[in-house]
Amino acid sequence: MSDNQLIKGVLDLDPWLEPYSGELVHRQKHFTHWYNQLKSSEGSLSNFASSYKEYGLHANWDTKQITIIEYIPDVQAVSIVGDFNHWDFNSHPLNKVNDYSLWKLTIDTIDGDFAIAHDSRYKIAMKLSSGEIIYRLCPWSQRCTPSTENSLYESRFWNPPLSEQYQFKHPRPAFKDNLGVKIYECHVGISTPNPEVGSYKNFTHNILPIIHQLGYDTIQLMAIMEHAYYASFGYQVTNFFAASSRYGTPDELKELIDTAHKLGIRVLLDVVHSHSSKNVDDGLNMFNGTDHYLFHGGPKGSHDQWDSRLFNYANYETLRFLLSNLKYYLDVYKFDGFRFDGVTSMLYKHHGLGFGFSGDYNEYFNHDWVDNDAINYFMLAHKLMEEIGVEEKFIFTSIAEDVSGMPTLCVPINQGGIGFDYRLSMAIPDMWIKILKHLQDEQWDLGNIIHTLTNRRHGEKCIAYCESHDQALVGDKTIAFWLMDKEMYTNMSVLTENTPVIDRGISLHKLIRLLTFSLGGEGYLNFEGNEFGHPEWLDFPRVGNGESYHYARRQFNLIKDDLLRYKFLFNFDCAMQRLDTNYKVLSSPQAYVSLKHEGDKVVVFERNGLLFIINFNPTQSFPDYKVGVETPGVYKIVLNSDDEQFGGHSRIGETDGEGKPLRFFTNNDSWNNRANSLFIYIPSRTALVLQLEDKV
């Protein structure tokens, strides 16, 4: 294949990339070199990523033998110690297999049974060249739990009887009819109204039905990879192969995912391969006594702002570890894809710190700035998902948390791209918070809002969102809080007056969400609880708050209280999600915006046959407002934010003056560059969505 053929797809999408074709070709060849090398040395990329089946501690149920394999360079001797051998360094030494620092031991049976009991503690002990013996958790450990004796974590040999191991019953749900992805971002531990750590079981039985009722087709699980510090929100990973024990057992997590699949909900893992905790006793840092085990050594291996360690993506064993980690979660837990955290930090040697991306293409193709080894890792990861997907006849999903706007990030590898399916539109929540923080309603710049919502790279799909967990954390404010924090605790009852603050808050909460949902991308994301205006921020137990769990919870009980107004926002979010279910909004081409009237504060646009009319005006309603529409015919309202069930004022009835169902008829008078037009009443702070019922 010629160089031009390697990148033809991305150049067709964006001819402005032509001056950077050399760098794009280099990325493709760098990936091909690694891919071929792994196929040659490991048999296939999938075999390479299946190392989790051999590395670490494993039981053979046929022979009742236990085998341990570890990659440990720069040490003199290695042993496995634990409860089973009274932590004796000399009892079970590993043998060095080859010159590549691979160590191995097979532990025979005792009285015909496993020599190491299920759930018993163990560690890897290593003698350094200095003669010092250090003890560390196994990097490949699939179960780590907090010690009952101190504040440290312990590796556990997770090997329950076969009869107790969860067996998946339901197939992975495929995307239906090319619908867009609708993601519910959630955290198992906070998914309870009680001031405690929520469990996998609680999430399975109490939260999944709510997500299903809302209409989301995907959940994104945060903080699953084990992290010793709960308040890190799961972003300081200590044990990459261990599903967090805080919430329950591995089998209970499997049941959660299988139940989601039963409901038609796909499950993404929020995977943190951008960095690792600096924790030595509980994590990977200084595992073998050096600072460069899987990481860059020296200052290059430290992220100063995150106070964490940075992986060396050019290292063979680092790639084995990380790619195996992905395949492990796909194979063992049946996750349906990944949201990759910290992608911007990985893509650039400067990690995006103090760097304001302007969109200049030189920022994305500068050898001094861009980390091509990290790009290669992403390409290998997506090739791996593709190969597994072919075997399972399933298409996995990947999302990049990237603020830089790296071109080709969300283009398939065979078209010259890096391979992601979606990137998060991180500029959108920033925009909304700035508007709510600094501007009065009359000062909103609709042109700027529409530009931010629609300004995305052609041919590269985006996930739009108004707010994520970032905005819910203490120190920031959710949209509901910015709108209603003065009266959130006093006037959210239907028995109290619908004050101007609450009325405005509920109205704008709906309008902001609908506009973002329908204009912002090819997918949509919401952080749990934000859809119903959760009344409190999120703060994990820590020294600064007296280790309190009061704010580390989501009060789903509020939507079940018929006397509270939270139900109105919940109902609207349900209706909004079903717009995509019924009319395939998100998967359709970008909307055509025919009107953004700064004086009236009215936005009108069409997407996939639906006509969206949104009036942000705080005081003025417009009778017989003329809007343009391309397709002639009879239109009906399919979503009205002013409906009583959404906390509105029901200013638009369901019938006309003659008692007939309310319908709107176009005339052939062109308007705002559309071939036809119609007249409609749009109340203040109201959104209407119309569907063509009959063509003329």
When pLDDT is averaged across residues 664-679 and rounded to a whole number, the result is 96
Closest by CA position to 107, among listed 156, 58, 71, 51: 58
Q: What's the full length of the chain, in residues? A: 696
pLDDT at 33 over 90: yes
**What is the identity of the amino acid at 685?**
R
pLDDT at 1 over 70: no
Q: Flag whether the pTM goes above 0.85.
A: yes
How confident is the model over 580-598, as pLDDT tens digits? Answer: 999 999 999 999 999 999 9
Residue 636's pLDDT is 96
CA dist 154 → 53, 188, 257 (Å): 21, 22, 25
CB atoms within 10 A of CB 175: 14
End-to-end C-alpha distance for the chain, whole angstroms: 52
Residue 414's pLDDT is 95
When pLDDT is averaged across residues 158-170 and rounded to a whole number, the result is 96
Share of the chain above pLDDT 90, in %: 92
Is there a catalytic annotation at residue 252?
no
- 304, with CB counted inside 10 A (0-12, 13-18, 19+), is exposed
693: enclosing H helix or E strand: strand 686-695
When pLDDT is averaged across residues 276-299 and rounded to a whole number, the result is 97
Can you list the positions of beta strands (E) in 133-282? Answer: 133-136, 144-146, 153-156, 181-187, 218-222, 225-226, 239-243, 266-271, 276-277
When pLDDT is averaged across residues 446-466 and rounded to a whole number, the result is 96
Contacts 24+ apart (CB under 8 A), 97-106: 97/69, 100/71, 101/71, 101/72, 101/73, 101/74, 102/69, 102/70, 102/71, 103/69, 103/70, 103/71, 103/72, 103/78, 104/67, 104/68, 104/69, 104/70, 105/67, 105/68, 105/80, 106/65, 106/66, 106/67
CA dist 318 → 33, 71, 247, 449, 689 (Å): 17, 10, 28, 42, 50
Share of the chain above pLDDT 70, in %: 99
When pLDDT is averaged across residues 596-602 and rounded to a whole number, the result is 97
Q: Which SS3 state, helix, strand or coil, does residue 185 take? A: strand
Residues 601 and 597: their CA atoms lie apart, in Å, by 5
pLDDT at 242 over 80: yes
pLDDT at 236 over 70: yes
Residue 324 in contact with residue 49, Cβ under 8 Å?
yes
3-state SS of 110-121? ECCECCCCCCCE
Residue 177's pLDDT is 65
> Which value, to the nearest 10 degrees, does the dihedral of the CA atoms of residues 553, 557, 559, 565 take?
-90
10, two tokens: 């991305």
How confident is the model over 605-645, as pLDDT tens digits? Answer: 999 999 999 999 999 999 999 999 999 999 999 999 999 99
Residues 434 and 509: their CA atoms lie apart, in Å, by 15
How confident is the model over 511-561, as pLDDT tens digits? Answer: 999 999 999 999 999 999 999 999 999 999 999 899 999 999 999 999 999
Residue 187's pLDDT is 98
Residue 263 in contact with residue 270, Cβ under 8 Å?
no
pLDDT at 473 over 90: no
Residues 171 and 169: their CA atoms lie apart, in Å, by 7
How confident is the model over 184-201, as pLDDT tens digits? Answer: 999 999 999 999 999 999
Residue 438 in contact with residue 477, Cβ under 8 Å?
no
Query: Which domains are present in the chain?
Result: 50-164 (2.60.40.10), 593-695 (2.60.40.1180)
Q: Which SS3 state, helix, strand or coil, does residue 370 take? A: strand
Residue 512 in contact with residue 436, Cβ under 8 Å?
no
Residues 586 and 518: their CA atoms lie apart, in Å, by 7
Q: Residue 234 half-sphere exposure, CB side, CA atoms within 13 Å?
A: 29
Banded model confidence at residue 124, pLDDT cuts 50, 70, 90: very high
Catalytic residue among 255, 401, 402, 642: 401
When pLDDT is averaged across residues 437-462 and rounded to a whole number, the result is 96
> Which value, to the nearest 10 degrees, does the dihedral of the CA atoms of residues 423, 424, 430, 435 take?
100
Q: What is the DSSP string of 565-589?
A: THHHHHHHHHHHHHHHHHH--TTSP
Q: Classify residue 654 by its DSSP letter.
A: S
Residues 591 and 638: their CA atoms lie apart, in Å, by 18
How confident is the model over 205-234, as pLDDT tens digits? Answer: 999 999 999 999 999 999 999 999 999 999
Banded model confidence at residue 345, pLDDT cuts 50, 70, 90: very high
Closest by CA position to 173, among listed 384, 392, 469: 392
Residues 409 and 603: their CA atoms lie apart, in Å, by 31
Residue 175's pLDDT is 78
Residues 559 and 564: their CA atoms lie apart, in Å, by 7
Banded model confidence at residue 476, pLDDT cuts 50, 70, 90: confident
CA dist 382 → 13, 137, 249, 395 (Å): 20, 29, 29, 11
How do 133-136 and 144-146 pair as beta strands? unpaired
CB atoms within 10 A of CB 448: 12
Q: Which SS3 state, helix, strand or coil, does residue 191 take? A: coil
Torsion-angle region of residue 416: left (phi > 0), alpha (psi -120 to 50) or beta?
A: left
Q: Which residue has the higher pLDDT, 566 or 2?
A: 566
Residue 450's pLDDT is 98
pLDDT at 4 over 80: no
Catalytic residue among 154, 270, 336, 341: 341
404: enclosing H helix or E strand: none
Residue 134 in contact with residue 123, Cβ under 8 Å?
no
As beta bridge partners, residue 95 has: 104
How confident is the model over 80-117, as pLDDT tens digits? Answer: 999 999 999 999 999 999 888 999 999 999 999 999 99
Would the CA dihedral through 112, 118, 120, 123 be positive or negative?
A: positive
**What is the identity of the amino acid at 220?**
Q
Is there a catalytic annotation at residue 644?
no
Q: What is the CA radius of gyration of the chain?
A: 27
Residue 312 in contact with residue 329, Cβ under 8 Å?
no
Task: Give the chain's mean pLDDT.
Answer: 95
Residue 653's pLDDT is 86
pLDDT at 655 over 90: no
Residue 462 in contact with residue 523, Cβ under 8 Å?
yes
